[in-house]
Structure 1
Amino acid sequence: MSHNVLAFCNQKGGVGKTTTTFHIVDAARRAGHRVLALDMDPQGNLSTVLSSGGSSPGDAGIADALSGRSDATLADVVAPSIWGGVDLVATDPNSESLAFVRDELILGGAGRERRLRDALELLAPSYELVVIDCPPSLDLLTINALVAARRAVVVSQSALFSANGLARLRRTIDVVRRSYNPTLELVGAIINLHERNTVAGREQLAEIADCIAIIGDPVPKRVVLKDSAEAQTSLLDWGTTDARNLAGIYRRTSELLMEGVGSGTP
C-alpha cells in the first residue's frame, strides 16, 4: 500500500500503546494532517478516549466491517472524533463484538488475514495518516493490522520484560512480511514510560536500542500522559509546562513517522 498506514503494536499490555496512539494522533492533526484512527483492540480504549460521545451502544463499528456476517463497509462505520480532522472507526468497549470477530477469523479460511487490508483499500487514500491501535496480543486481529499496514511501530517500555518480548514480535512481523505483506516495514520503537534517572531505565533502553531503532526521544513516565488522554484533552491544552514539553516530544516523533525516518529496519 502506498498510503501512510501505521500499526502501533506490542503483544504486552500496559506499555502505554493506546495513550501513545492518542498523543501521536493529536500531534499529526495539529500539523494539519487528516487522520483516520482504527481501534482494533476489543477493549476499545482508543475509542473511549477519541469518541465524540455521539455514538450509542450497539452502533456499528470495526467489527461489522470485518465480519463475514455483515454487509457494512469501513466507510459505513467511520465517525467523527473529538477533534476536527480526525475520524474514528471505533470498537464498543462494552461489547464483545470484536472478540467474536477475532474468533470468527480463526475459522475464516482463505483471505482471513486480508480482511482489514481489503476494507481499507478505497478508504485509506482519503487520509494523510491512518493509525491502527492493535490489541495486546499476536492474534488474527494484530495480523490483520500488520497485513493492512505500510509500517509497523512498536510501543515499548524501557523495561526488561518489554525488551524480551521484542524478539517474538519481530518474528511475527517477519512472517507477515514474507507471507502476506512484502512491503511492510518495521520503523522502530517508541519508548514510553521511560525512567532516565534510574540505572535500570538507562540499561534497558540501551538493550532495546541494540535490537531495534528508537524513534524520537523516549517519553518519560508521567501521570499527565494517561490523565490527559482519559480527559480527552490535548497535552497542549492541559496547561502545564511539563505537559507542553511532552507534547513537543510527540510532535517531533509524529514528524519522524510522517517522514518515514527509521523505516526499512530488517
Structure 2
Amino acid sequence: MASRPGRLNLVRAGAARLIFASWCVCVTICIGGCGTGSSKGADAGSGDAPAPPSSASVSQTAQIDHDEGAASSASKPPADPAPALEIPATFHRTRIAHGAGFWVLAEVHNDRDTPLRRVELEVSLLDAEGKALVSHSGGLARILAPDERAALTVLIPNPPPHESLAVSASGRALEGEAPAPPPLRLEYDPPQRADLGGWRVFGSVHNEGEAAVEGARVEILGFDGDGQLLGRDWFQLDAVAPGEAQSFDVGELRYDETPARFELNLRPPADPALAGPAATPG
C-alpha cells in the first residue's frame, strides 16, 4: 500500500482498497447499495435550478478541475475528411459555472461497431419555435470504444434567453489500430465524507511498465439514484516513473445531493490527433 500524502484532516477509509487496471471498465462504488436506474434526460430550460459547481483539492502539483474538465468552445476544429458518424447523446443536468453561464452534463454512447476518434458533444440553446440561438461544443481527447459510454460537459457562457436546449453527438471512425494503454494501475479507497463537508478520495496510481508515463488523468463521477450525473471532476497526474506510484488526495468533492454511487476512471494522456473540440479527458 502506498504511503498517504501529507494532508491535514484526512479521512481514513476503513474499507478494503479497490483496484482498477483497465482504461475501459469503470469501478463503481455504491453509497447505501446500488440500484438500477436509467438516465432521464430533461429540459434545462424548464426544470430545476442548476446545481452549484463542485469543489475539490488534490495533494499533488496537478490542478483539479471541477465538473467540466476543460473549457468548451463554440469554435469548430479543423476540417476532417472523414465523415462524422452520429451517436446517441443523453442530457443529464445543468450546473452553474463560475461567472456568467452554466455547464451542461451529458453522456455519449458509441453504438457503432468501430472505435471512434474526435468524439464531439454539441449543445444548442433553442427559442420557443425550436430554432437554435447559439451552439457550443466539447469533446473527448481519447478513443471511444464500441458500446462504450462517456460523460461529457460543455460550457455555455453568457447564455441568451432561451426556452430549451438540445444535445447531439458524433465521432469519426478510427483508422488503424487503437494505441495500447499505458501500463498503469489505479488503487483507491471508497469515497468518504470529509470532516468539513463534501467527499474525499485517497488513492494512488502505479506504473507497472518500463517507461515513465506523463499526462495520465483520473476522472471522478458522481451519480444520483437514477443514474444521472451529479458532477464530474478530474485531475492530471505528474509523470509516474517506472516501478513507482503517485499518491493523490482529492477533497471537498461537492454535489447538490448525496451521490448514490461513484465511478473513478483512469484515462490515458490526451492525444491531439484523437481529440474533438475543447477536448476533456473523459
TM-score between the two structures when normalised by the length of structure 1: 0.27
- The structure with higher relative contact order (CA 8 Å, sep 6+) is 2
TM-score between the two structures when normalised by the length of structure 2: 0.26
Task: State the structure with more CA Rg.
Answer: 2
